[in-house]
Amino acid sequence: EKELWKRYDWEFHLALIRACNSKNMLELHAVLFWKYLRYQMLVLTYRGDEAAREHKDIFDAALARDSEAAARRLEEHITNGLVHTLDAM
């Protein structure tokens, strides 16, 4: 289940970044995602419903073309993921 979730997580973020049409952002995302994934897989936990709700908030802001809200939600999402991973270590 965790592996499937991470695939969906990767695809969600990738779709958002592709919409920016920036090769540099795509490359940076790939590097950061895979480095973070290694740590997250080590702790053997995932955030599931909480992360899914955050994805929905980011998605809704992106669809509304509210870049400030989307950026805020994304920052919260990344911070929450890092805190979760560090707390589980």
Residue range 40-89, pLDDT digits in tens: 777 766 788 899 999 999 999 999 999 999 999 999 999 998 898 888 87
Domain extents in the chain: 2-88
Does the pTM surpass 0.85? The reply is no
- What 3-9 contacts at long range (C-beta under 8 Å, 24+ apart), as own/partner pairs, is 5/46, 5/48, 5/51, 6/37, 6/40, 6/41, 6/46, 9/51, 9/55
Q: Average the pLDDT over 12-30 and give the result.
A: 91
Selected residue with higher pLDDT from 85 and 26: 26
